[in-house]
Amino acid sequence: MASELYNTIDALSREKGIDPQIVVSAVEDAIVVATRKYYKSQENLRAQLDKETGKIRAFAVKTVVENPEQVEDPNLQVTLEDARKVDPNVELGGELQIPKVTEGILGRIAAQLAKQVIFQKVREAERDTVYKMPRSSAWKVRM
């Protein structure tokens, strides 16, 4: 069973004539922007929408390196020893996903920022859809 959020995304994408994945990506990008602003972080952040529950998880992504001398940027890299404290199955050269708490803390300003990002991405996708239409179809739509 799909979540209410995903059903809303699906309805919006059908209404606007765009791929639902574009809207999902816009929501995930918006959460990344809001999370980065809240945490004032330069980490590599990602977000993921769970289609079933409607929950959006945000996490920092760091590359796993062998020893502390190889860590050039602690925002982007982590030693294998430290990474195994978070995820015992992580491999050298792999990615470590460190969860970021977003539920209940992002607030009104972050929601407004997320809304702006989502609207911008949807407008861009709509524009791309109109430009990709054959001229005869675009003419009929405007009539």
**What does the pLDDT read at residue 84?**
93
**For residue 106, pLDDT beyond 90:** no
Using the CB atoms, write b or e for 102-135: b if 16+ within 10 Å.
beeebeeebeebbeebbeebbeebeeeeeeeeee
CA distance 143 to 138: 9
Q: Per residue in 41-87, pLDDT tens?
A: 889 999 998 888 888 889 999 999 998 999 999 999 999 999 999 99
- The class of domain 4-142 in CATH terms is alpha beta
- The domain locations on the chain are 4-142
